[in-house]
Amino acid sequence: MRADRLVVPDYGDFGNSIAPPDLQIPPTPSHVSFDVRWKGGGKPTDIDDDTFDFSGTFLDQAATPSGVPDGLITIEFAARHDGSNTVYRNDDGAQHVVSGGVGRERNGVFH
């Protein structure tokens, strides 16, 4: 999955992002780019939840005690506030994948 210069509002923190509009600090216009890669593998798992009207089949790449093997799941990203020269990027050496997965899902009511 990839996006390049996707327009996003930066609310600063989660609390501000869900605050009522009259209590929010206005977001900072920003852009993000990312590249998420998953190299496959994993056991198919079916999930069917009638309570939340959700179902799907997912391939889960769960971590071993030492983590998911290097390079199996990766993300590169960059984020920047509009008008700023500062770019926040991932640090490849500091990433540790706990688990990851990919699949198909169906949720909600569709007519």
- pLDDT tens column, 60-95: 766 555 555 656 778 899 999 999 999 999 987 777
Task: Specify the DSSP element, H or E, that contains 47.
Answer: strand 43-49
User: If you average pLDDT over every residue of the chain, what do you get?
Assistant: 84
The pLDDT-based confidence of 111 (bands split at 50, 70, 90) is very low
* Among 76, 61, 68, 77, CA closest to 8: 77
One-letter amino acid identity for 40? G
